[in-house]
Chain A
């Protein structure tokens, strides 16, 4: 039996097509996926992301614990409310999960991890936390909504108190704060501005209704996937996993190797670097008609072969785009085996779209 969020009945009543995602019954789309996608690029959409797992990490040694556990450097987190994206790595440098860590206090950090990796993440964190005396507490009492799009912040602050609205509007990118009893952060997974809101599960339905009543469009996981891919953001399990490392997954920018930091996986990554990286995660734009899909074969003339890790039709660009793991020496022109035909694709550096605008010409 799949798990359900506090908003499941609302999704069902709205006629959403429900799919299993990471062990949860989640809305794929309510009506037209493309219309939901455009609503986020042009106005505002709301996603139920309550399936994501919120974990509070508490204790005197929580910072040293995260310095070891997290491949990004929590030393960068000095102002309360600041968020930092990064990876949990295993000893081989493989990616256990990607997550966001918020700095809430010197003895209190909050991680948001993927739904499908919840069990192994919690087990890994608890095992590593023990010698540090850090408590790892899942916040299953919280629901989470992502409100995204150029008009998203405006719609959310309309529901807050005067002082709350002021504080929410003052949040910088990748900052969060407790406001009017909710944890509101200026983060997201769409390439647009917006907020993610963690709130008590029993309040989720009222917030959902207030937002949709204010014209915010309900959006499902289908649009979430096309939006994040246009924004060049990785999806765990597709674009990286325990058998791939962050350096060959477009995530080198999240790995802080400086200052002799001793995080789990560091030695393996150093060894990989010393040997030379053989692959890279690149963006592809299909130059012909068709749709790129995960697992299609990529041919990089003179450099070898690779594979698409995520592919879709981009509603904003009106052509197909993908992330692909290809030889590091690949030129900017490759071919993709699309259902038995070799189609030309151009290699680009993601993101493809940012704040509603094409970045790939």
Chain B
């Protein structure tokens, strides 16, 4: 069973969001998602200053077998991509909710439809873990 921290918000496309004390949000992919992808070998994070809207592909994670888009969960401006992933993409496998974060975004306006941990857990249970 994959981990779903209760203090985070989630999307139907397997991203997680953490609201930081300064109001910005940190975004990554969930434990369920990293497990489904397998060993990650390449990550492309968004550039600082890029404007994103919900549902827009803004990062790419590639495992040995396949490439997958990661979708921006909120409207806003990217303030930082996780540069450490260039040399350590496996951080997403080993620490998806910590060192494996992909980007920090300064949100504009209200976030879109996000899921609670309980709702996300239900979603992954339906998809099969």
Contact = CB atoms under 8 A, between A and B. Distances in A.
A289 B42 contact: yes
Which residue of B38, B39, B67 has the most chain A CB atoms within 10 A of its CB atom?
B39
Nearest to B86: A289
Interface in B28-44: 38-39, 41-42, 44
A17 B38 CA distance: 10
Summarize A's interface: helix, strand, loop or mixed: mixed
A293 B64 contact: no
B67 A313 contact: no
Interface stretch (A29-37, A66-74, A134-142, A259-267): A29-37
A28 B63 CA distance: 13
Contact of B42 (A29, A32, A313): A313
Q: Chain A interface residue count: which class?
A: 10 to 19
A283 to B, nearest CB: 18
B120 to A, nearest CB: 21
B105 to A, nearest CB: 22
A339 B64 contact: no
Nearest to B42: A291
Given A313-B62, A339-B60, A34 B39 contact: yes
A33 B42 contact: no
B67 A32 contact: no
A313 B64 contact: yes
B62 A291 contact: yes
A315 interface: yes
Interface in A263-292: 289-291
Given A34-B39, A289-B42, A312 B67 contact: no
A33 B86 contact: no
A33 B65 contact: yes
A34 B89 CA distance: 13
B67 A222 contact: no
A33 B38 contact: yes
A315 B39 CA distance: 10
B58 to A, nearest CB: 13
A293 B67 contact: yes
B38 to A, nearest CB: 6
A339 B67 contact: yes
Contacts of B63: 33
A34 B66 CA distance: 14
Interface string A280-315: 000000000111010000000000000000001101
Contact of B41 (A17, A28, A313): A313
Nearest to A34: B39
B41 A32 contact: no
A339 B67 CA distance: 10
Nearest to A226: B64
Given A222-B65, A289-B42, A290-B42, 14 more contacts: A32-B38, A32-B39, A33-B63, A34-B39, A34-B41, A222-B64, A290-B62, A291-B67, A293-B67, A313-B41, A315-B64, A320-B42, A339-B60, A339-B67
Interface of B: 38-39, 41-42, 44, 60, 62-67, 86
Interface of A: 17, 28-29, 32-34, 222, 226, 289-291, 293, 312-313, 315, 320, 339
